Amino acid sequence: MTDEKDRARIEALLVELRPALHRYAARMVGSVLDGEDVVQDAIARAMAALDRAPPEGDATAWSFRIAHNAAIDHLRARARRGGEQEIQEEDMISDGDEAARRCAAGAALAVFMQLPPLQRGTVILKDVLGYSNEEAAGILDTTLAATKAALHRGRARLRILADAPSPLPPADHGDVIRLQAYVDRFNARDFDAVRAMLADDVRFELVARMTRGRAAFETYFTRYTEMTSWRLSVGVIEGRAAAIVHDPADPTGPPTGLIVIDWADGRIVRLRDFYHARYVLRDAVISPPA
């Protein structure tokens, strides 16, 4: 059983680690959007585990181990849905560290997906997040020798793959049209028209916060009216149309936010606002709609 002081400490640690957990999860599952779902799952698992199996020792390694397992479960579920062969965790287990870090930092998320999970995990932990081989072995619950072997093979494979082009899938044309209508109404601050686009059972998520559900939309729309520094445009991320937030005072500057919408029968059934999870933008590749 975890006492309240330790629970508060671990909760604060999970908040602090969230961007790094996302960098790990996004590369493990090949998607900044799915990576955030994995992080949410991992944090929920971590909080649930506090009462039955709290961390013994390094809580950071414990947190990454939970995120790794959540990512593996996500990949297995995706494989089952797609009828693919289920992934295996066994090692399917150089370059200098600095060259490897540059290669990993510049590699597209889709490239990491071509590495087996253990190789992928060791390369991300060592070359993206800066963990030692010993720390990576602890997080991945494997031996130091297996970690070093996986790192060597993963680096060699990543170096070959990183130079290959990674074509991005186009977004659904209907979703682009629907999202453009949402963006136009938002930019006109016509929130009654925006409300008319919502399905009755719409799900709302203010990512990295606990705000959810239809009732939360009213508070959300109230905040919208105050967002004079927000202007939306339509972009494509990982083959999905997404609303990209810009500051009108700096229209050529980097995006400041991201909103992802799911549609059914022409109505909004789920809206995820990443205002409090801007770390997602760090690894997002945003392109204009075709």
Q: With 0-12 CB in 10 A as exposed, 13-18 as middle and 19+ as buried, what is 285?
A: middle
Residues in Cβ contact with 172 at an 8 Å cutoff, skipping those fewer than 6 apart: 241
Closest by Cα among 163, 169, 150 to 287: 169
pLDDT at 105: 81
Q: What is the pLDDT of residues 54-73, one digit of tens each?
A: 777 789 999 999 999 999 99
Q: Under a CB-based contact definition with an 8 Å cutoff, are residues 90 and 120 in contact?
A: no
Q: What is the mean pLDDT of each run of 10 residues along the chain (290 residues)?
A: 78 94 96 96 91 81 94 90 58 59 85 92 94 94 94 91 72 95 93 90 84 64 73 94 91 90 94 92 90
pLDDT at 91: 39
Dihedrals phi, psi of 186, to nearest 5 degrees: -65, -50
Tokens of 52: 């039955």
pLDDT at 125: 96
pLDDT at 78: 86
Q: Under a CB-based contact definition with an 8 Å cutoff, are residues 202 and 214 in contact?
A: yes
Dihedrals phi, psi of 112, to nearest 5 degrees: -60, -30
Please state, in angstroms and rounded to a whole number, the distance separating the CA atoms of residues 49 and 87: 25
Q: Read out DSSP for 164-195?
A: S--PPPPPPHHHHHHHHHHHHHHHTT-HHHHH
Q: Under a CB-based contact definition with an 8 Å cutoff, are residues 207 and 276 in contact?
A: yes
pLDDT at 89: 47
Closest by Cα among 46, 50, 49, 43 to 22: 43
Instruction: Look at residue 212 and give its three-state secondary structure.
Output: strand
pLDDT at 159: 87
Helix, strand, coil proportions of the chain in percent (round to 5)? 55, 15, 30
- With the CA atoms of 276, 259, 253 and 29 taken in that order, what torsion angle do they form, in degrees rounded to the nearest 10? 80
Q: DSSP secondary-structure letter at 128? A: I
E strands in the chain: 198-206, 231-237, 240-246, 257-264, 267-273, 286-287
